[in-house]
Amino acid sequence: MYRKQVRRRRAVLVLLVVACLMLISISISEADSGPLHRVQNGVSAVLNPIGEGASRALKPARDLVNWFDETLAARGENDDLRQQVADLRAELTETQDAAEKAGYADDLKKLMGSSGLDAYEPVDATVTAHSTSTWYGSIRIDKGSDDGIAVNDSVVTSQGLVGRISNVGGGFADVGLLTDGTSANAVTARISGKGPVGTVTPVVGAPGKLEFTLIEGGGEFDEGDELVTASFQIQGDRRSIYPEGIPVGEVDQAVPAEQDVQDPVRITPFANFDDLNEVTVLTGGPG
């Protein structure tokens, strides 16, 4: 009897491990339009309304927990913020002109206007599910191909770039975040106003941090320098996924001009990845 149980246990284990390995292998090797992905998307489409309903039902509970968390954090930050307000007031008096341009909303509006983002059709969406691990930076939203969303469309918040659409179904879409270390989510970016071009990549295990590695250009960075997406086009059809000029983040630490910039520079993204509830997908676009 005991031996039979042991044999059964081992058989179940081996069977399921083999099943997992086969699923991983097929999932990685087949195209996005392959049968396994189609089944995954089909099941997803069925389960999505349930997840969406649960997400909406549990939003008050989430907000309550986050409210406590933010209240506790706010108390700790109070003194720092007071000091910062005093510093900013002094700075404001000295540089009125620069301060006028400092409002991020104005910057975003200006960048959208000057870089042709007005040509994109914005689709507002609600986040219905978040990934369960820091290894996977992805979210699911409640809008999909029925709303005109397509794979590789850029996703932004009012603060800046969030990521791109990695998978889309009829009434849902998955967003690969900038912090996702498992997919090709590197962003070509440049320092706004200075021009050195590089790639922004995530730092796995350090949520909320990105790295900027130079491809070309000079190497002086000041703390607070803003990064925006840099669009490029090679040989006609090949072009970068993200449109030009979307704010990405700011430089954490100054790097003097005389220092040879080989190592990645730490970036803090503008978008708050811990609190993503509403996002906007830039659909369509020029051409």
Partner 1 sequence: MIVTPRIFLRLAAIVFVAVLLQAAFFSGVPLLGSVANVVPVVVVALGLLGGAVTGTVSGFAAGILIDVMVGGTLGVSSLALMAAGYAAGRWREGYDIVSSLVPPLLTGALCGVAALAYGAMQLTLGIDATVSPLVVREVVVQALLGALLAVPVFPLIRRVLRPALVDDSARARAKAASARAGFGGRSGPFANIRGDRGHLRGL
Determine which residue in the list 129, 155, 261, 282 makes contact with partner 1, applying CB under 8 A.
129
Read off the DSSP letter of residue 173. E
Under the criterion CB under 8 A, does residue 188 sit at the interface with partner 1? no
User: What distances in angstroms separate CA 106 from CA 85, 100, 176, 238, one per listed residue?
Assistant: 20, 9, 27, 31
Q: What is the phi/psi pair of residue 220, to 5°?
A: -100, 125
Q: What residues have CB less than 8 Å from 26, skipping those under 6 apart? A: 34, 36
- For 175-198, b/e burial (b = at least 16 CB within 10 A) is bbbbbbeeeebebbbbbbeeebeb
Cβ proximity to partner 1: between 202 and 249 the closer is 202
Determine which residue in the list 1, 31, 50, 257 makes contact with partner 1, applying CB under 8 A.
50
Residue 94 token pair: 């000295």
Under the criterion CB under 8 A, does residue 44 sit at the interface with partner 1? yes
Determine which residue in the list 188, 201, 229, 280 makes contact with partner 1, applying CB under 8 A.
201
In the region spanning residues 9 to 38, those forming contacts with partner 1, defined by CB under 8 A, are 9, 12-13, 16-17, 19-24, 26-28, 36
Cβ proximity to partner 1: between 55 and 188 the closer is 55
Determine which residue in the list 62, 101, 109, 110 makes contact with partner 1, applying CB under 8 A.
62
d(CA 163, CA 138): 9
d(CA 177, CA 173): 12
Q: What residues have CB less than 8 Å from 155, skipping those under 6 apart? A: 141, 161, 162, 163, 164, 165, 175, 279, 280, 281, 282
Cβ proximity to partner 1: between 206 and 254 the closer is 206
Q: How many residues bind partner 1 (CB under 8 A)?
A: 64
Cβ proximity to partner 1: between 106 and 263 the closer is 263
Site for partner 1, rule CB under 8 A: 8-9, 12-13, 16-17, 19-24, 26-28, 36, 40, 43-44, 47-48, 50-51, 54-55, 57-58, 61-62, 65-66, 69, 127-136, 138, 140, 166-167, 174, 181-186, 201-207, 209, 211, 264, 274
